[in-house]
Structure formats: C-alpha cells, structure tokens
C-alpha cells in the first residue's frame, strides 16, 4: 500500500506563491470542482485547457475511499492535441487555503492557460495529481476501475456518486468524455442498472 501521508501536498502547495500577489485568479476545475464548488467564487465560466485528458487514475484515500480501500477520482494526463473541458472560477488567493486542504491527497497547483467559450484566454491555476504522487493508481481496465468505484466509500460519500455527478455535470456542459462515460456504463452494468 502506498504511503497516503506522503501524498499530502498541503505544504508543497503553500510554497507556490505565483498568484499570491494577485487580487483575483482563475481556477480550472475538471473533476469534482465542476459539480461541487464548496468555496466562495466571484464568477464562473465554462473553459478548457489544451494538452490534457481527464482520467480516473488517482487514488482517493481521504474523500471517496479509505487507505485500506481507496476510491478513484480524476486527474489530468498529458495527451498531445487533447482538449479538456471544465469550469473556471474566478477566486481570491484567500481560497487557496481551503482548496489546498480539499486537494491534499496528491494534487499540486500548476499554472495553466485556459480558453473560454468566446475564444478569450487567460492564465490561471489547476490542481493536478501527477504520476509521481504516492496516491497515484494509474491505468487499469475500465471494468476494474468501475468495480473499484462501485465498492469504495469514504468520508465524502460513495465513490460512485463522484463518477455519476461528474458524468451529469459534463453532460450539462455538453462535453463528451469517452473515458468518463465508459466508466459510467461499466458502473451501472456492474450494479445491474
């Protein structure tokens, strides 16, 4: 089992000061940040980032699973030519404290360029769990990932709810994510629905 304490990224993220002198900054959300904005924000807009795909390859030992039975949540994986759609939130740097705690299980802050639906661009930040973090689970067959999601539950609730809420939110954005929707189909088949 990986060391979930070592996956804690709060201290590393607090050292990132790139946006600390800004009054406002854009945050790009591609997973639960799309459907669970439990932080104050000024405004939000659909946005995308280039060169990344969403994958259920990150272990969740603290929200959607436990250290003994981790769930799976999304992270971003580099893929040339890909576009990942999500939701951008304009926030103040004061929100980082909450977000750093929420995303503490392996996620680091990175600067990113994002594009809005009207074609305008801005620089902001995104939390990504890289392949080097101790909670990274990596790829697996879809049926195996879906089964793990179906069986995992953590302090934030059943892992299945995370997948189903994300699928619903992506449909509301009119976004077709083959990976997420394939896992949703596998999950529902596993549950006999």
- Supply the pLDDT for residue 5: 43
pLDDT of residue 8: 80
What is the structure's pLDDT at 17? 64
Percent of the chain scoring above 70 in pLDDT: 91
How many residues in total does the chain contain?
Answer: 193
Q: What is the mean pLDDT of residues 63-80?
A: 96
**pLDDT score of 1:** 38
103 is catalytic: yes
- Residue 193 has a pLDDT of 72
Residue 3, pLDDT > 50, answer no
pLDDT bracket for residue 20 (50, 70, 90): low
The set of residues, in sequence order, having a beta carbon less than 8 Å from that of 193 and lying 6+ positions away, is none
Residue 185 pLDDT: 97
CA–CA separation, 187 vs 22, rounded Å?
42
Catalytic residue among 103, 132, 144, 172: 103
CB environment 154-182: b (16+ within 10 A), e (fewer)? bebebbbebbbbbbebbeebebebebbee
> Is residue 23 very low, low, confident or very high in pLDDT (cuts 50, 70, 90)?
confident
The pTM (predicted TM-score) of the whole model is 0.90
- CATH number attached to the domain at 10-190: 3.10.490.10
pLDDT, tens digit (0-9, with 9 covering 90-100), for 107-162: 999 999 999 989 999 999 999 999 989 899 999 999 999 999 999 999 999 999 99
Question: What is the longest distance spanned by two Cα atoms in the chain?
Answer: 52
H or E element in which residue 8 lies:
none
Over residues 5-16, the pLDDT tens digits come to 446 876 765 667
């Amino acid at each position: 089992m990986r060391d979930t304490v070592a996956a804690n990224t709060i201290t590393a993220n607090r050292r990132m000061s790139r946006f600390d002198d800004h009054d406002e900054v854009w945050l790009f959300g591609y997973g639960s940040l799309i459907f669970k904005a439990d932080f104050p924000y000024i405004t939000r807009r659909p946005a995308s980032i280039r060169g990344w795909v969403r994958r259920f390859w990150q272990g969740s030992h603290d929200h959607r699973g436990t250290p003994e039975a981790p769930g799976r949540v999304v992270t971003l994986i580099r893929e040339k030519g890909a576009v990942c759609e999500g939701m951008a939130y304009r926030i103040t740097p004061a929100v980082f404290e909450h977000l750093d705690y929420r995303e503490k299980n392996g996620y680091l802050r990175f600067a990113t360029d994002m594009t809005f639906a009207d074609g305008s661009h801005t620089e902001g930040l995104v939390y990504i769990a890289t392949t080097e973090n101790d909670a990274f689970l990596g790829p697996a067959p879809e049926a195996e990932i879906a089964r793990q999601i179906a069986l995992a539950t953590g302090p934030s609730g059943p892992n299945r709810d995370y997948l189903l809420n994300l699928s619903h939110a992506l449909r509301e954005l009119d976004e077709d994510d083959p990976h997420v929707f394939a896992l949703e189909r596998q999950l529902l088949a596993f549950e006999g629905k």
